[in-house]
Amino acid sequence: MEGPHLHIIRRANENGAWSKSRKKWVLPVDFLVVQAMDQYAAERHRMVGAGGSDFLLVNLFRAPLGSPVTTDAIGELIAALVHRAGLGRRVVARMLRHAFASNVADAGGVLDEVQALLGQSHPGSPRPYLHPAAGRLREAIERVPSPRMMRAEAES
């Protein structure tokens, strides 16, 4: 794949987390993800050196250092960030997936692009993740010509 990207590989692991896709796939990312990964890699090396798990996300601030991050730890991190941001509502990891899919669609992404970016094989799989913004719905209505507009165009 051209440009920055991540390789997603399903494999058994010690923390019980799985990639949903049974096939390897490549996820394109933007420069912010690359920058975050660079900062994370530097912090990871500072905390655990060359040791620890080869998984993408490992514990850097709780024991055992260098072990894969558990799904519970991800939930705790999200809850702490939600509290820190003062959102006043519960946010779970799954909501981030929904937000990502909706953001791609709101930015003009079509269903097959959302499907591929979510790593889904069935074309209908991304539908539950799509929550169009009100502005995007308004733009869709504005693109549909009204009978009055069509009549005015025909008369001119």
- Give the mean pLDDT of the chain: 84
Question: Residue 79 pLDDT > 90, yes or no?
Answer: yes
Of 82-86, 91-95, 145-149, give the range with the top mean pLDDT. 82-86
Tell me if 94 sits within 8 A of 74, measured CB to CB: no
Preceding peptide of 64 cis, ω within 30°: yes
pLDDT for the residue numbered 154: 76
* 3-class secondary structure, 132: coil
Q: Nearest CA to 78 among 98, 100, 95, 101?
A: 95
Over residues 15-55, the pLDDT tens digits come to: 666 666 677 878 889 889 889 989 998 999 998 888 778 78
Please, where are the H alpha helices in the chain? 31-48, 71-85, 93-106, 111-117, 134-143, 147-155
> Phi and psi of 58, rounded to 5°?
-125, 155
Sorted by sequence, the CB contacts under 8 Å of residue 8 that are 6+ apart come out as 19, 21, 24, 25, 26, 27, 119
CA distance readout (Å), 72 to 53, 69, 109: 18, 8, 32
Q: Is the pLDDT of residue 63 over 80?
A: yes
Which DSSP symbol is given to 70?
Answer: P
Token output for 24? 């390897």
